[in-house]
Amino acid sequence: MRVILANPRGFCAGVNMAVDSLELALQAFGAPVYVYHEIVHNKYVVETFRQKGAVFVNHLEEVPLGANLLFSAHGVSPEIRRVARERKINAIDATCPLVTKVHLEAIKYAREGYTIFLIGHEGHDEVIGTMGEAPEAMILVESEADVDRLTLPTDAKVAYLTQTTLSVDDANRIITRLRGKFVNLVNPPKEDICYATQNRQEAVRILSAEAEVCLVLGSQNSSNSQRLRELALERGNQAYLIDGVADLDPNWFTNVSSVLVTAGASAPEKVVQEVIDWLVERYSATVEVRTTREESVHFPLPKVLRSLAKREG
């Protein structure tokens, strides 16, 4: 068996920053450190931190007054920040800067009187946070069919933003439909879909042609990981989204000679390597690392943790 190991894969700069922030907060403040929603959408990462004393909550009422709380990489709404202040919570903001960019764009367009179409998935933590910035001005659009159902005048003052972890192809189809319907549609000068999401999709697009099976490391609630699996399926692969070795089924590899392995932006390298080891041991696989694009993006820690990081270093 030949295993093609995609690069880039796994943690993006935003996830690295969020994970490092929680690690440092636990070291500095001790357990428990509360986290609003999952730090990132990955089962392995969440469970690892739970064992270290992180407590993941869905409602701020679950956080004791004055406790230490981390906002996850996906961002939160202004209402959540207000409640945290009210409860005298020590909030550490580990929102990915690329998500913050979308929040700021939402505020800007709302102030200028635009109706904003947010292209994204209902219920996703990032979408909830972004829509919270200007709920009266925003309409969630999940599909081309949603565009067709919009009843605003064709010359309405409208803008669009996107969730950072979408499929580039899906987003472009929706954007094209919006442009065909609204003559004055505007958008930010720089697109919202994050560099890492695009790079991982590009790698699957290029490398899947050489493989029969594609394994995507990532959790079921990870939007960007789901998109990688869907992209591989669209390109003719058998494709599986797995959390780790325990999810592998030997039946997937019957008469298979080439496997592409990649990982969503919230999946740790440890689980990738465990899958590679399993394939090597079971099928005497040879592993070929294929780099489609170099990444060098780095995001700084939240200000409150930077001095702590220097002391630890």
Whether 190 is in a domain gets the answer: no
Distance CA 104, CA 8 (A): 28
Whether 264 is in a domain gets the answer: yes
> What is the residue type of 207?
L
CB 245 within 8 A of CB 274: yes
Q: What was the pLDDT predicted at 313? A: 56
Whether 88 is in a domain gets the answer: yes
Query: Over pLDDT 70: what percentage of the chain?
Result: 98
C-alpha torsion sign, points 218, 223, 226, 228: negative
Whether 186 is in a domain gets the answer: no
Asked if residue 203 and residue 133 are part of one domain, the reply reads: no
Q: What are 28-47's pLDDT values in tens digits?
A: 999 999 999 999 999 999 99
pLDDT above 70 for 311: no
pLDDT above 60 for 1: yes
Asked if residue 104 and residue 90 are part of one domain, the reply reads: no
Whether 222 is in a domain gets the answer: yes
Asked if residue 206 and residue 144 are part of one domain, the reply reads: no
For the chain, give the mean pLDDT.
96
Banded pLDDT at 308 (limits 50, 70, 90)? confident
Is cis: bond before 8, omega within 30 of 0?
Answer: yes
Asked if residue 282 and residue 200 are part of one domain, the reply reads: yes
Asked if residue 120 and residue 41 are part of one domain, the reply reads: no
Q: What was the pLDDT predicted at 306? A: 86
Domain, as residue range, for 80: 13-95+299-312
Asked if residue 125 and residue 74 are part of one domain, the reply reads: no
User: CA torsion angle for 25, 28, 31, 33 (degrees, to 10)?
Assistant: -30
- 308: domain CATH number is 3.40.50.11270
Question: Running DSSP on this structure, what letter comes out for residue 66?
Answer: T
Number of domains in the chain: 3
Q: What are 219-275's pLDDT values in tens digits?
A: 999 999 999 999 999 999 999 999 999 999 999 999 999 999 999 999 999 999 999
The residue count of the chain comes to 313
Using CA atoms, how far residue 152 sits from 108, 120, 141, 161, in Å, is 21, 19, 13, 17
Banded pLDDT at 191 (limits 50, 70, 90)? confident
Q: Where are the alpha helices (DSSP H) in the chain?
A: 13-29, 43-52, 78-86, 97-111, 125-131, 144-149, 168-181, 195-207, 223-234, 269-283, 303-312
CB 12 within 8 A of CB 194: yes
Q: What was the pLDDT predicted at 146? A: 98
Q: What was the pLDDT predicted at 208? A: 96
Asked if residue 202 and residue 249 are part of one domain, the reply reads: yes
Asked if residue 287 and residue 205 are part of one domain, the reply reads: yes
Q: What are 278-289's pLDDT values in tens digits?
A: 999 999 999 999
CA triple 12-209-205, angle to 5 deg: 35
Query: Over pLDDT 90: what percentage of the chain?
Result: 95
Banded pLDDT at 210 (limits 50, 70, 90)? very high
Tokens 């009422």 -> residue: 61
Q: Which helix (H) or strand (E) holds 35?
A: strand 33-36
Asked if residue 143 and residue 69 are part of one domain, the reply reads: no
Q: What phi and psi values does residue 2 have, to the nearest 5 degrees?
A: -110, 125
pLDDT average, residue stretch 97-101: 96
Strand order in the sheet with 138-141: 138-141, 115-119, 158-162
Asked if residue 219 and residue 145 are part of one domain, the reply reads: no
pLDDT above 60 for 130: yes
Asked if residue 235 and residue 172 are part of one domain, the reply reads: no
Q: What are 61-87's pLDDT values in tens digits?
A: 999 999 999 999 999 999 999 999 999
Domain closes at, from 152, 181, 210: 181
Catalytically active residues, by annotation: 126
Angle between helices 97-111 and 13-29 (to 10 degrees): 110
Cα Rg, the chain, nearest whole Å: 21
- 174: domain CATH number is 3.40.1010.20
| Beta strands 286-291 and 2-7, pairing class | parallel
Whether 166 is in a domain gets the answer: yes
Banded pLDDT at 309 (limits 50, 70, 90)? low
pLDDT average, residue stretch 83-93: 96
Asked if residue 281 and residue 304 are part of one domain, the reply reads: no
Whether 285 is in a domain gets the answer: yes
Whether 55 is in a domain gets the answer: yes
